Amino acid sequence: MRTGAGRAPHSGFPRMNATPSRTSTTAVLSLVFGMVCWFALPFIGAVAAVICGHLARGEIRRAPPGTIEGDGMAIAGLVLGWVHLALFLLAFMAIMLFFGGLAFFAHWH
């Protein structure tokens, strides 16, 4: 019985010439701010999530393939941030329309 014939031995350690990949710090920050903006920092956290997400995506795209990870975290932070900003804008517009309507009707009565 031949075991491992024709195959290189595998010791469980990474190969010496392989460069280790790292996770983008800005991608992690984007995801963290994207989650925090729903609980603690409503507007500021969403803006930070969007900015960090775009910076992380650019950093990951400019790096050689496979050296920086975290694209999924950056996208999740972007989605959370943009959705929060859109809902914030809709709520702001609804409040302004409501109070604008009150001011309009108060003027005529």
CA-nearest of 27, 19, 18 to 61 is: 27
pLDDT digits (tens, 9 = 90+) for 36-66: 999 998 899 999 999 999 999 999 999 988 8
Quote the CA–CA distance of 95 and 89 in Å, as a whole number.
10
Domain residue ranges of the chain, discontinuous segments joined by +: 23-108
Range of lowest pLDDT (8-12, 40-44, 68-72, 104-108):
8-12
